[in-house]
Amino acid sequence: MRRPYESGICHGGSAPHLLICFFLLLVWDTSAATAHRILLIHSFGRDYAPFDAFTRTFRNSLADQMGEALVFYDLNLESARVAGESSDLPFTTYLGKLFEDQPPDLVIPIGGPAARFAQRQRSRLFPSKPMLIAATDERHVQSSLFATNDTSVCCRNEPAAVIDGILQVLPATTNIAVVIGDSPLERFWLEELRRDFRRFNSRVSFTYYNHLSFSQIQQEVKHLPPRSAIFFGLLYVDAEGVPFAG
């Protein structure tokens, strides 16, 4: 059995909801009369898939299971679209000022960029309050950086399994076009995809569209050669810096 504050790696079912509730019961003072304040830090924004679906389900499930008054605060890590760690301190300072009088009872980073930001800035990000990293691939989480009141409910994406599926359904495929954007997160995943897809190099060729705008990607896929397939990875920000939600 894992200790209450260790990371939980879950791949579906009700396990994440049970872990979340167990965690919250341990760290929250359930006798408090005031509403609990929950800070959601979004990697890109509430409207970006698949995080939008997770956030909607999480809010409803948490309210139903806790049976208490909850106040949610949504803040976006806008720098995830174009910047790296250089904007960490200004955003952390802003959060500190915003919640200076009433800090949140729970901090929830959603997605890889938010998780990385929260772990980098944990000593400044309401360190006495619990943190739950959610809707994040485990590659973005460092368990060695967990404080005693931190935990995570992570998944592990397996893009190579999608390629296996393509080649099973369309065994004649010789070329796979990979649609992916150019934000810092997508650059991270580009390297992961290249690494994971190496084992297919003797069978198919891969074309990556990270250096193109969305309109250029649309034109490219119109002229794919025969026996091609499209792997739609991520398209949050294209090569021209234009964001795409949903």
- What confidence tens digit (pLDDT) does each residue in 64-73 have? 888 778 999 9
- Which pLDDT score is estimated for 10? 39
Tokens of 243: 């964001």
The strand order across the sheet containing 36-42 reads 8-9, 150-155, 131-137, 106-110, 36-42, 70-76
* Upstream peptide bond of 50 is cis (omega within 30 degrees of 0): yes
- Residue 169: partners with Cβ closer than 8 Å, 6 or more residues away: none
Residue 47 CA from chain centroid, whole number: 13
Residue 27: its pLDDT value, please? 60
pLDDT at 105 over 70: yes
Mean pLDDT (whole number) for 207-215: 97
Q: Would you say the C-alpha torsion 147, 184, 20, 106 has a positive or negative sign?
A: positive
Q: What is the mean pLDDT of the chain?
A: 86
32-41, 108-117, 221-230, 235-244: lowest mean pLDDT where? Answer: 32-41
The two structure tokens encoding residue 43: 């990697």
Mean pLDDT value of segment 95-105: 95
Tell me if the pTM is above 0.75: yes
pLDDT in tens, 138-150: 999 999 999 999 9
pLDDT in tens, 148-206: 999 998 999 999 999 999 999 999 999 999 999 999 999 999 999 999 999 999 999 99
| pLDDT surpasses 50 at 47 | yes
| Angle of the 159-169 helix axis to the 184-196 helix axis, nearest 10 | 50
Q: Report, in this order, helix, strand and coil percent for the chain, each rounded to 5.
A: 40, 20, 40
Dihedral angle, C-alpha 240, 241, 245, 246, nearest 10 °: 40
**127 has a pLDDT exceeding 60:** yes
Helices within the chain (DSSP H only): 15-27, 51-66, 88-98, 112-120, 159-169, 184-196, 214-222
DSSP 16-41: HHHHHHHHHHHHS-TT-SSPEEEEEE
